[in-house]
Each structure stands twice: as C-alpha cells, then as structure tokens.
Structure 1
Amino acid sequence: METSLLKEMSNDLSDFVGTHFVYTYDNGWKYEWYARNEHACDYRIHHGLVGGRWVTNQEMHAVQFAPGIFKVDWHEPTGTCVSLLFDLKRKLVHGTIFFPQWIAGEGQHPEKTICFQNSFIEDMHRFRDEGPAYPYVIIPEFAEVTYMKNEGKDNDEVISMPPGQLPDDFFDGK
C-alpha cells in the first residue's frame, strides 16, 4: 500500500469518533469509554484497581489501524500510559495499561487516583512526581464490548457523572 494511502486511511476516524463503549476485561475490570472527538476521550472505571475514577477531555492520539479497527494512546497526569485497540466488528478491545509503581506496585496507593481527575490535576502531578514510577506494572488484557453506540461528537452527556450511579444491568448492554 502506498504511504499516502496508508496515512489517509489511518486519519479517517469517522466510524469511531462519537462512539460510546462499555466493556469488561477478562480480569473482571469494567470500563466505559467515549471517543469524544479526534483528539480527546472520556472514560469511567466502574470496577478494577482504580474503580471509581473518571476523566473527561483526556488528550489522546487515535488512528484507524485497519478498516473497523482503531488504536488510541494517551499519557495521564498520574504517569499512567494507556493503549487501546478497538475492533468494532468483533466487539473486542485489547488494552494495555502501564501503571507507575506508586499506583499499582505492592504497598502503593491506587486510591489516590479514584476521583474526577479533572478537578485534581495538580494533585495527580504531585503524586506522579513523588513516585516511584519504575518499574512500570504492565497489564495487557482483552475485553468484550457489551454496549457500543455512536452518541455524536463532543457530547457532554455521555460521561457526565461518577461511576457507581448506573443500573445493575448496565454492563449487560441494557
């Protein structure tokens, strides 16, 4: 494939932007994620190491990896790095989370991140800088998508409240 054609295809996010996903990782962690626009995402973590955390307008980098397959990456103020691959046709996500030691290491403090991050950016930077960061705890997991719907670009209603305020059958796609 020609380089310009690859670049053109990879920049086409029209089938992805505005999509709202609910998914559960094989390890049981439950997430909700929204492709707010070409450069930002919103998410809530309902269950897992940092369950209760939520973020809006997280800067991200997104590409179309192949038709119907999208990859997003971002670096959080906590020092956590995230890489997600969304396969829309098969309704699968593969996520790799790179947690710094201060969050996921033995005896550390993931609870410090359980908040609406947007209101505590300075705290997240301070915790990150206090560390320790290394060695990173790397968690790669597959997830099954139980809900997927295009909610439109830059829709502030999609991720608008903390986790834990949703019906019990939310993760069953209802």
Structure 2
Amino acid sequence: MPVHPSLEGSTFNADLRDRHLIYEYAAEDKDSNPEKWRYEIWFENAERINYAIHGGPMAGRINFQTAEYQCIRPGELWQCNWLEETGTIVSLVYDIPNKKITTLLGFSKGHWNNAEDAHGDKRNPDDMERWRGLARLGIQTERHLLNEQADILEDFRGPGDLKPVDMALPTF
C-alpha cells in the first residue's frame, strides 16, 4: 500500500502499521452502573482501520473504514480519524508509552438512539444498508458526543480474529 504523503518519512510503519490493540473503557450503563466496554482495533495499513466492538451499547459491531492518520509525537502519540456510514465521526488518539486510547465520538442521532440497529458486519449488505439509514435520522447538529479514555489490554501485530479488508470494498 502506498503511504499517504503526510506519512512519508514518519514513524507510521514502526508505530502503527499492522498493530492490533484490544482495549477497555471503564464506562457506565444507562442506570449509571459501572461496566466495561471492550473494543479492538487493527491499524491494518495506511488507508484502513479495522475494528470490532465487544462491550457497551455498540457491542456486536464489526467495521472497517478509510482513516486519516496524524503523527503528534513520533513513537509516542498518533491521532486516527474517520467517518462512518451511520454519520458517526470518530477521533482516536493512541498514546503508545502510556498504553491509553482517548476518543471523541460524535454519534449520529440515528446511531446513538438505535444502537442495536448499528450492530452487525459491514461486509453484510443488509447491515450496511441499515447503517446508512441511521445516518438519515436527525440533523447534523443532533449528535451525542462521548469522550472516553481506555486502557490497552493487549498490543500485538496482525489481524487476530479480525478479517483483513478487501481494499476494493467502499468506505466513506
């Protein structure tokens, strides 16, 4: 895969390419009871991220997206941003030495209010069509913002249980 011009000469290959992280947010359920939200992300290459959600209201979601990467401090901090079919905007910061993920998510009204409809696998055409429908609910300013910080539990190279992305498949 060609590296984005903004990544040329960066530490992307050493810091992120093919890196797989499993992490947990210490969150709360709808009744304010503590619960863990487990996520995993694979920085498959310079163009795509691949992830699965195993806990919280979005548990059961498997997705991949075209991502934009920005190096904040080589070997230490990276930002990864993407837009989803549901209209959700994600900004993730990976703090390598402190083993932390910090995210800001701008959930679309349709996605947040209909979390179960956001479950599924993007490779399934029915799931993809349902997700696109979620983006049409509400207006752009009706977003649920969620700031969270997670602890990294596992850090390794390769896909783990995630399926590699066919680069011919469309993304936002």
Give your verdict on TM over 0.5.
Answer: yes
Alignment partner, residue 159 of structure 1: 162
Aligned to 1:26, what secondary structure does the other structure show? strand
**Distance in 2 between residues matched to 1:10 and 1:66, nearest whole Å:** 13
Q: Partner of 1:110 in structure 2?
A: 115
Query: Residues 113-142 of structure 1: CA distance to partner in whole angstroms, max 9, x if unpaired?
Result: 11002323233222212x014421000011
Residue equivalent to 2:31: none
Greater shift, 90-99 or 133-142, is seen at: 133-142
Q: Structure 2 length normalisation: TM-score?
A: 0.77
- Which position in structure 1 is the counterpart of 2:58? 50
Query: 2: distance between equivalents of 1:103 and 1:95?
Result: 17
Shift of 1:12: 3.4
Q: Distance in 2 between matches of 1:150 and 1:37?
A: 12
Residue in 2 that maps onto 1:92: 100
Aligned sequence identity (%)? 21
Deviation at 1:158, TM superposition (A): 4.2
Q: Is the Cα contact below 8 Å between 1:20 and 1:158 reproduced in 2?
A: no
Equivalent residue pairs, number: 146
| Corresponding residue to 1:72 among 80, 95, 106 | 80
Distance in 2 (CA, whole Å) between partners of 1:78 and 1:125 is 5
Deviation at 1:8, TM superposition (A): 6.3
Corresponding position: 1:22 with 2:29: no
Secondary structure (helix, strand or coil) at the match of 1:127 reads helix
Contact 1:34 1:158 in 2 (8 A): no
Q: Which structure ranks higher in relative contact order (CA pairs < 8 Å, sequence separation ≥ 6)?
A: 1
CA distance in 2, matches of 1:8, 1:103: 32
Runs of 4+ in 1 over 3 A off after TM superposition: 7-12
State the AA in 1 paired with 2:12. Answer: L
- Is 1:81–1:97's contact at 8 Å kept on the other side of the alignment? yes
The structure that is strand-richer by fraction is 2
Show the counterpart of 2:42: 34
In 1, distance between residues paired with 2:58 and 2:95?
Answer: 24
C-alpha separation in 2, matches of 1:9 and 1:142:
29
Matched residue of 1:160: which SS? coil
Structure 1 gaps of 5+ residues are 1-6, 162-174
One-letter code aligned to 2:121? F
* Cα distance in 1 between the residues matched to 2:72 and 2:9: 6
User: What stretches of structure 2 of length at least 5 have no aligned partner?
Assistant: 1-5, 28-35, 165-172
Confirm whether residue 132 of structure 1 aligns to residue 131 of structure 2. no
CA RMSD of aligned residues (A): 2.0
The answer on whether the counterparts of 1:10 and 1:65 sit within 8 Å (CA) in structure 2 is no
Query: How big is each residue's C-alpha offset from its partner over 1:64-116, in whole Å with a ceiling of 9 and x where there is no partner?
Result: 11022111000000001101000111100101111111222xxx311111100
Distance in 1 between the 2:123 and 2:9 partners? 29
Secondary structure at the aligned position of 1:103 is classed as helix
